[in-house]
Amino acid sequence: MEHIPGYDEWKTSAPEEQEPVAYCNQCGDPLYEGDALYTVDGGICEKCLSDGYRRVL
């Protein structure tokens, strides 16, 4: 089996790991780039918004 130099290093580093841009003020979930942050209650996530502010009629 051929050994590829640097392959293990590449494999173990997580390229899809993102740094959270912000945290939800209510549930504390990390929010990443591209996620929706609603600027109520100091900044909350979509889940908390629909839990706390959406009413199904």
- Binding-site ranges for Zn ion (CB under 5 A): 24, 26-27, 29, 45, 48
Minimum CB separation of residue 10 from Zn ion in Å reads 34
User: In 10 A of CB 24, how many CB atoms?
Assistant: 22
The Cα-based distances of 43 to 24, 25, 28 in angstroms read 6, 6, 10
Tell me whether residue 13 or residue 39 sits nearer to Zn ion (CB atom). Answer: 39
C-beta of 30: minimal distance to Zn ion in Å?
A: 10
For Zn ion, the closer of residues 8 and 47 by Cβ is 47
Supply 50's token pair: 């629909």
